Amino acid sequence: MATRQIILDTETTGLEPRLGHRIIEVAGVEMVNRRLTGKHFHRYLNPGRESDEGALQVHGLTTEFLSDKPKFAEIVDELLEYIVGAELIIHNAPFDIGFLDAELALVRKKKLVTYCPAVIDTLRMAKDLHPGKRNGLDSLCDRYQIDNSARTLHGALLDAELLAEVYLAMTRGQDSLIGESDGAREETKVAKFERGNLKLSVLRATDEEVAAHESQLADIDKASGGSVWRRLAT
């Protein structure tokens, strides 16, 4: 059965929906069976208020830019149709869910969990994988060697796309059939042979090959926090 996931992100006018802050941008990136489908959702929203100065410095979305954008009530049905039934992947999920629930309440809709009962918080996941380290999106991109050079300001769609790559990197190896078309496996035929008096030649690695091997292990260590090869070797 296909697993449909939506990597979701929002930008807001401030930090606290209870103080009247609103969502000004929402974006989603669809992934099915760990494959990005290219089906995105992205809307800028008119919040009906100004952003706090600190928030404006983060996302750069001015009141003037947002003035002709739709209200949340105008796009809510389209958003819910896009995410319904999917497993959500969100970085610092309580923050985004808190804002989405507040917006849904204003338009007399049920809470987000009604439409998407499963949520993965990648911030919580990253803290479990990398305790004591910085686990913001930029830090995770650096750790997993994901190009985030276009991220000069926070933007919901770009951040969702980057988070999709981070999530795949953090969970790499969990699914043994990744890369197979529609879950189908071709039968592998192994030719049989008799060893008899077969003599094998042993070719020792050159200094250049050893150096390249060590460089590759260093890259794996940087991305994963420690390669299995080194642990077995010691």
Instruction: Give the tokens for residue 72.
Output: 């949340």
- 46 vs 57: CA distance, rounded Å: 18
Give strand ranges (E) for the chain.
Answer: 4-12, 23-32, 35-44, 87-90, 119-121
* Helix axes 156-170 and 122-129, enclosed angle (nearest 10): 40
Of 42, 59, 154, 213, the active-site residue reads: 154
Is 154 a residue of the active site?
yes
How many C-beta atoms surround the C-beta of residue 106 within 10 A?
A: 14
Burial (CB count within 10 angstroms: exposed 0-12, middle 13-18, buried 19+), residue 192:
exposed
50 Rama class: left (phi>0) / alpha (psi -120 to 50) / beta: beta
For 128-131, the CB contacts below 8 A with 24+ separation are 129/170, 129/225, 130/225
> What residue has token string 């983060």?
58
Catalytic residue list: 154
